[in-house]
Amino acid sequence: MTPVHFTFRSALFLGPMALVFHRTQFLSALLCLGGMKLVQFIAIALWGLPIQSSCWCADLMLMTAFSACDASTGLPLLLATPRTQGTDCLPNLNLLQC
């Protein structure tokens, strides 16, 4: 296993582990998800370099579009949660209540 493969595999493993262990704040959960998405984006970009084909560019564009949609929904949720619930601590939020 090359160091690049080890780095990406460990980063993809540490992202969900950080999400599990540090899920007290809504912002830290969003940062963990964003880090996992960034590692996937870089991995797809580096995966297409040795192939020298243009078909992997569609995957990058699709992932960029999903990242923009995620950011456009995550930021308003991050701002609206403390206003409506009074806190952004995830254990204190009741997700079943409207």
Domain total in the chain: 1
Q: What is the pLDDT of residue 54?
A: 65
**60: containing domain:** 3-88
**Environment class of residue 2 by beta-carbon count within 10 Å: exposed (0-12), middle (13-18) or buried (19+)?**
exposed
Gap between the Cα atoms of 29 and 19, Å rounded:
6
Residue 25: strand, helix, or coil: strand
The verdict on residue 96 lying in a domain is: no
In the predicted model, what is the mean pLDDT of residues 52-76? Answer: 76
Q: Which residues make beta-bridge pairs with 89?
A: 25
Give tens-digit pLDDT for 13-32.
Answer: 888 888 888 777 777 788 88
Gap between the Cα atoms of 18 and 29, Å rounded:
8
- Quick check: 12 and 39 in contact, CB under 8 A? yes
Give tens-digit pLDDT for 36-48.
Answer: 888 888 777 777 6
The verdict on residue 41 lying in a domain is: yes
The CATH number that applies at residue 65 is: 1.10.287.3510
Q: What is the pLDDT of residue 93?
A: 66
